[in-house]
Amino acid sequence: MLSRRHHLGHRRHHRDEMTMNTDELSPRRRQTRSTLVQAGISVFAVRGIDGASIEEICEAGGLTRGAFYSNFSSRDDLVLAIIEMRTSENLDRLDATIRRWTEQLTATTEVPEIKTLMTTFIDDVFNEKKQTVAETITEQEIELYCLRVPHLHARYVELNNSQFERLAALVTTALDIVGATTKQPIDDFLTVIISVFNRIALSAAAGKAMDEHVDIDPALIVEVLMHLIDFCPEHQD
Protein backbone atom coordinates (compact mmCIF):
# COMPACT_ATOMS: atom_id res chain seq x y z
CA MET A 1 0.00 0.00 0.00
CA LEU A 2 1.75 3.08 -1.23
CA SER A 3 0.63 6.38 -2.64
CA ARG A 4 2.82 9.06 -4.12
CA ARG A 5 5.40 10.72 -1.87
CA HIS A 6 3.92 13.56 0.18
CA HIS A 7 5.51 16.49 1.97
CA LEU A 8 4.97 17.21 5.64
CA GLY A 9 6.23 20.76 5.74
CA HIS A 10 7.23 21.60 9.31
CA ARG A 11 5.03 19.03 11.03
CA ARG A 12 7.03 16.03 12.17
CA HIS A 13 6.25 13.02 14.34
CA HIS A 14 8.63 10.50 15.82
CA ARG A 15 8.31 7.09 14.21
CA ASP A 16 7.84 5.35 17.55
CA GLU A 17 4.68 7.43 18.08
CA MET A 18 3.14 6.16 14.87
CA THR A 19 3.16 2.38 15.13
CA MET A 20 3.96 -0.38 17.56
CA ASN A 21 7.21 -2.31 17.09
CA THR A 22 5.72 -5.70 16.25
CA ASP A 23 9.14 -7.39 16.41
CA GLU A 24 8.92 -7.18 20.20
CA LEU A 25 5.49 -8.84 20.41
CA SER A 26 4.79 -12.46 21.26
CA PRO A 27 3.69 -14.74 18.38
CA ARG A 28 0.18 -14.87 19.87
CA ARG A 29 -0.14 -11.11 20.02
CA ARG A 30 1.24 -10.70 16.50
CA GLN A 31 -1.43 -13.14 15.33
CA THR A 32 -4.13 -11.17 17.14
CA ARG A 33 -2.97 -7.93 15.52
CA SER A 34 -2.88 -9.61 12.12
CA THR A 35 -6.42 -10.91 12.62
CA LEU A 36 -7.65 -7.44 13.54
CA VAL A 37 -5.89 -5.93 10.54
CA GLN A 38 -7.57 -8.40 8.19
CA ALA A 39 -10.92 -7.81 9.90
CA GLY A 40 -10.44 -4.06 9.55
CA ILE A 41 -9.70 -4.42 5.84
CA SER A 42 -12.87 -6.46 5.26
CA VAL A 43 -15.11 -4.10 7.25
CA PHE A 44 -13.59 -0.88 5.88
CA ALA A 45 -14.09 -2.12 2.32
CA VAL A 46 -17.82 -2.57 2.88
CA ARG A 47 -18.66 0.14 5.40
CA GLY A 48 -15.96 2.73 4.81
CA ILE A 49 -13.76 3.81 7.70
CA ASP A 50 -16.18 6.44 8.99
CA GLY A 51 -19.02 3.93 8.96
CA ALA A 52 -17.12 1.08 10.63
CA SER A 53 -17.40 0.50 14.37
CA ILE A 54 -14.95 -1.22 16.69
CA GLU A 55 -17.68 -3.77 17.46
CA GLU A 56 -18.05 -4.69 13.77
CA ILE A 57 -14.30 -5.11 13.38
CA CYS A 58 -14.08 -7.31 16.48
CA GLU A 59 -17.04 -9.41 15.32
CA ALA A 60 -15.47 -9.88 11.88
CA GLY A 61 -12.25 -11.07 13.52
CA GLY A 62 -13.93 -13.21 16.18
CA LEU A 63 -12.28 -11.16 18.94
CA THR A 64 -13.38 -9.03 21.88
CA ARG A 65 -13.19 -5.28 22.41
CA GLY A 66 -10.59 -6.01 25.07
CA ALA A 67 -8.41 -7.74 22.48
CA PHE A 68 -8.79 -4.75 20.19
CA TYR A 69 -7.81 -2.15 22.78
CA SER A 70 -4.91 -4.29 23.97
CA ASN A 71 -3.41 -3.84 20.52
CA PHE A 72 -4.76 -0.56 19.15
CA SER A 73 -5.63 2.67 20.92
CA SER A 74 -8.29 3.62 18.38
CA ARG A 75 -9.72 2.93 14.95
CA ASP A 76 -7.19 5.39 13.51
CA ASP A 77 -4.37 3.41 15.11
CA LEU A 78 -5.68 0.33 13.29
CA VAL A 79 -5.74 2.29 10.03
CA LEU A 80 -2.04 3.10 10.41
CA ALA A 81 -1.26 -0.52 11.26
CA ILE A 82 -2.99 -1.63 8.06
CA ILE A 83 -0.84 0.78 6.06
CA GLU A 84 2.35 -0.45 7.71
CA MET A 85 1.57 -4.17 7.50
CA ARG A 86 0.28 -4.15 3.92
CA THR A 87 3.12 -2.00 2.62
CA SER A 88 5.81 -3.99 4.42
CA GLU A 89 4.43 -7.27 3.08
CA ASN A 90 4.29 -5.92 -0.47
CA LEU A 91 7.83 -4.54 -0.31
CA ASP A 92 9.15 -7.78 1.18
CA ARG A 93 7.66 -9.69 -1.76
CA LEU A 94 9.14 -7.20 -4.23
CA ASP A 95 12.53 -7.58 -2.57
CA ALA A 96 12.32 -11.38 -2.81
CA THR A 97 11.23 -11.20 -6.46
CA ILE A 98 14.14 -8.90 -7.38
CA ARG A 99 16.61 -11.21 -5.64
CA ARG A 100 15.21 -14.22 -7.49
CA TRP A 101 15.37 -12.45 -10.84
CA THR A 102 18.90 -11.24 -10.17
CA GLU A 103 20.02 -14.81 -9.61
CA GLN A 104 18.27 -16.00 -12.77
CA LEU A 105 19.66 -13.26 -15.00
CA THR A 106 23.21 -13.55 -13.72
CA ALA A 107 23.11 -17.31 -14.28
CA THR A 108 22.49 -16.96 -18.03
CA THR A 109 24.47 -15.43 -20.88
CA GLU A 110 21.37 -14.82 -23.00
CA VAL A 111 20.14 -11.25 -23.31
CA PRO A 112 16.32 -11.31 -23.08
CA GLU A 113 14.12 -9.04 -25.17
CA ILE A 114 13.34 -6.15 -22.84
CA LYS A 115 9.56 -5.93 -23.30
CA THR A 116 9.14 -9.66 -22.74
CA LEU A 117 11.40 -9.46 -19.70
CA MET A 118 9.44 -6.55 -18.22
CA THR A 119 6.06 -8.18 -18.86
CA THR A 120 7.11 -11.39 -17.13
CA PHE A 121 8.67 -9.49 -14.23
CA ILE A 122 5.63 -7.24 -13.68
CA ASP A 123 3.31 -10.25 -13.83
CA ASP A 124 5.51 -12.00 -11.26
CA VAL A 125 5.50 -8.98 -8.94
CA PHE A 126 1.76 -8.30 -8.95
CA ASN A 127 0.24 -11.72 -9.44
CA GLU A 128 2.44 -13.98 -7.30
CA LYS A 129 0.18 -13.13 -4.36
CA LYS A 130 -2.91 -11.45 -5.71
CA GLN A 131 -4.67 -8.92 -3.55
CA THR A 132 -8.38 -9.21 -2.92
CA VAL A 133 -11.09 -6.78 -3.94
CA ALA A 134 -11.50 -5.82 -0.26
CA GLU A 135 -7.79 -5.00 0.01
CA THR A 136 -7.92 -2.94 -3.18
CA ILE A 137 -10.92 -0.90 -2.03
CA THR A 138 -9.58 -0.41 1.50
CA GLU A 139 -6.26 0.93 0.22
CA GLN A 140 -8.11 3.67 -1.65
CA GLU A 141 -10.47 4.27 1.27
CA ILE A 142 -7.55 4.76 3.67
CA GLU A 143 -5.84 7.33 1.47
CA LEU A 144 -9.06 9.35 1.14
CA TYR A 145 -9.82 9.02 4.85
CA CYS A 146 -6.37 10.29 5.83
CA LEU A 147 -6.88 13.31 3.57
CA ARG A 148 -10.10 14.11 5.45
CA VAL A 149 -8.62 13.74 8.95
CA PRO A 150 -6.00 16.44 9.64
CA HIS A 151 -4.52 14.91 12.80
CA LEU A 152 -4.02 11.57 11.02
CA HIS A 153 -2.73 12.91 7.73
CA ALA A 154 0.72 13.95 8.96
CA ARG A 155 1.29 10.54 10.53
CA TYR A 156 0.10 8.82 7.36
CA VAL A 157 2.44 10.93 5.24
CA GLU A 158 5.50 10.21 7.35
CA LEU A 159 4.84 6.48 7.43
CA ASN A 160 4.13 6.43 3.70
CA ASN A 161 7.30 8.37 2.89
CA SER A 162 9.51 6.03 4.91
CA GLN A 163 8.16 3.08 2.92
CA PHE A 164 8.42 5.07 -0.32
CA GLU A 165 12.16 5.40 0.24
CA ARG A 166 12.49 1.63 0.48
CA LEU A 167 10.44 1.20 -2.69
CA ALA A 168 12.69 3.66 -4.53
CA ALA A 169 15.78 1.69 -3.50
CA LEU A 170 14.23 -1.62 -4.62
CA VAL A 171 13.10 -0.25 -7.98
CA THR A 172 16.53 1.29 -8.59
CA THR A 173 18.07 -2.13 -7.94
CA ALA A 174 15.64 -3.76 -10.38
CA LEU A 175 16.52 -1.21 -13.07
CA ASP A 176 20.23 -1.71 -12.49
CA ILE A 177 19.83 -5.41 -13.21
CA VAL A 178 18.95 -4.65 -16.84
CA GLY A 179 21.10 -1.54 -17.14
CA ALA A 180 18.10 0.79 -17.28
CA THR A 181 17.57 4.29 -15.92
CA THR A 182 14.50 6.46 -15.48
CA LYS A 183 14.05 9.52 -17.69
CA GLN A 184 12.85 11.55 -14.70
CA PRO A 185 13.58 11.62 -10.96
CA ILE A 186 12.76 8.31 -9.27
CA ASP A 187 10.04 9.91 -7.11
CA ASP A 188 8.19 11.18 -10.19
CA PHE A 189 8.66 7.84 -11.94
CA LEU A 190 7.17 5.93 -9.01
CA THR A 191 4.27 8.36 -8.66
CA VAL A 192 3.25 7.64 -12.25
CA ILE A 193 3.62 3.87 -11.91
CA ILE A 194 1.70 3.74 -8.62
CA SER A 195 -1.11 5.83 -10.11
CA VAL A 196 -1.33 3.55 -13.15
CA PHE A 197 -1.33 0.45 -10.95
CA ASN A 198 -4.07 1.82 -8.68
CA ARG A 199 -6.28 2.63 -11.66
CA ILE A 200 -5.76 -0.83 -13.17
CA ALA A 201 -6.45 -2.51 -9.82
CA LEU A 202 -9.69 -0.59 -9.27
CA SER A 203 -10.90 -1.38 -12.78
CA ALA A 204 -10.07 -5.06 -12.29
CA ALA A 205 -11.92 -5.10 -8.95
CA ALA A 206 -15.16 -3.69 -10.35
CA GLY A 207 -18.13 -6.03 -10.13
CA LYS A 208 -16.34 -8.71 -8.12
CA ALA A 209 -17.09 -10.08 -4.66
CA MET A 210 -15.00 -8.72 -1.80
CA ASP A 211 -13.09 -11.97 -1.27
CA GLU A 212 -12.25 -12.47 -4.96
CA HIS A 213 -8.73 -11.85 -6.19
CA VAL A 214 -7.82 -8.99 -8.50
CA ASP A 215 -6.00 -10.00 -11.69
CA ILE A 216 -3.50 -7.36 -12.79
CA ASP A 217 -2.81 -7.27 -16.53
CA PRO A 218 0.84 -6.17 -16.83
CA ALA A 219 0.47 -4.97 -20.44
CA LEU A 220 -0.56 -1.38 -19.68
CA ILE A 221 2.05 -0.98 -16.94
CA VAL A 222 4.73 -2.21 -19.33
CA GLU A 223 3.58 0.20 -22.06
CA VAL A 224 3.92 3.10 -19.61
CA LEU A 225 7.32 1.86 -18.44
CA MET A 226 8.62 1.72 -22.00
CA HIS A 227 8.07 5.49 -22.25
CA LEU A 228 9.62 6.29 -18.88
CA ILE A 229 12.84 4.26 -19.00
CA ASP A 230 16.06 4.40 -21.01
CA PHE A 231 17.63 1.01 -21.71
CA CYS A 232 21.19 -0.04 -22.38
CA PRO A 233 21.86 -0.92 -26.08
CA GLU A 234 22.02 -4.71 -25.66
CA HIS A 235 18.42 -4.76 -24.41
CA GLN A 236 16.99 -2.69 -27.24
CA ASP A 237 14.85 -4.37 -29.90
Evaluate if residue 4 carries a pLDDT over 60. no
- Residue 120 CA to residue 114 CA, distance in Å, equals 10
> What's 15-235's CATH class?
mainly alpha
What is the residue extent of each domain of the chain?
A: 15-235
More confidently predicted of 210 and 126: 210
1 against 215, higher pLDDT: 215
- pTM, entire model: 0.82
User: Is residue 101's pLDDT more than 90?
Assistant: no
pLDDT surpasses 70 at 48: yes
DSSP annotation of 216: P
One DSSP character per residue, 150-207 reads HHHHHHHHHHHHHHHHHHHHHHHHHHHHTT-EESS-HHHHHHHHHHHHHHHHHHHHTT
Q: Has residue 14 got a pLDDT over 90?
A: no
Q: What single DSSP character describes residue 93?
A: H
